[in-house]
Amino acid sequence: MTEATDDRLVQESLGGRLEAFDQLMLRYQKLVCKVAMNYVKDRQSGLDVTQNVFLKAYKNLDHVRAEGMFKPWLLRITYNESINWIRKGKNEKRHEELDDYADISATEADQERRVFEREDQGRVLEGLKKLNPKYRMAVALRYAEGLRVREIADVMGCSEGMVKSLLFRGVRQIKKSIARPA
């Protein structure tokens, strides 16, 4: 049996089949949580934001207009909810370690896509933590999640050129921060 597409699950959810939305949640809960924690920096806040994201997604499911747009649409909600969480001051642990983020991202697919060598992972996460939030989001979506530049632009609500600039500057800053002294 083939796995249902996002589009089909969205249509079934809109038709009142709650199990279809459950499948969408199961499919994307780790990704949403990881993206949220990339901003809010602690596991509990990330879980709270994730819950808010799926509540908003369910209530606004009829706003998914084009085929194949559920994932970027969901990540856009995640991005907005994370920013709102920080603005509302709910994120009291802004400088907490990203250990939870690293644990969640340790799937087999992510291991195959690692950009940096394993021995430098700790330094890379330190460098990632120091990035401006927009740089951090762009870098995480590109290198941890493998999203294309167009998808990142949709999620962040900016142009592809801006995403390329954010990626270039973010990677350059991480490289500077992890460079070993001669």
Where does a domain end: 95, 120, 139? Answer: 95
- Assess whether 35 and 11 both reside in one domain: yes
- Provide the residue range defining the domain that includes 178: 105-182
- Assess whether 87 and 137 both reside in one domain: no
Where does a domain end: 95, 116, 132? Answer: 95
Helix or strand holding residue 48 (H, E): helix 43-59
Count Cα neighbours of 171 within 13 Å in the Cβ-side half-sphere: 13
In whole angstroms, what is the distance from residue 35 CA to residue 37 CA? 6
- How many CB atoms are located within 10 Å of the residue 173 CB? 18
pLDDT in single tens digits along all 182 residues of the chain: 568 899 999 999 999 888 999 999 999 999 999 888 888 878 888 899 999 999 999 999 988 877 888 988 998 899 889 888 888 875 444 434 444 444 444 444 454 444 444 455 666 677 777 788 788 888 888 877 788 888 888 888 889 899 898 888 888 888 887 776 54
- Assess whether 89 and 1 both reside in one domain: yes
In whole angstroms, what is the distance from residue 150 CA to residue 93 CA? 32
Where does a domain end: 95, 130, 156? Answer: 95
- Assess whether 118 and 175 both reside in one domain: yes
Specify if 147 maps to a domain.
yes
Specify if 100 maps to a domain.
no
5 CB-near residues (< 8 Å, 6+ apart): none
- Assess whether 90 and 163 both reside in one domain: no
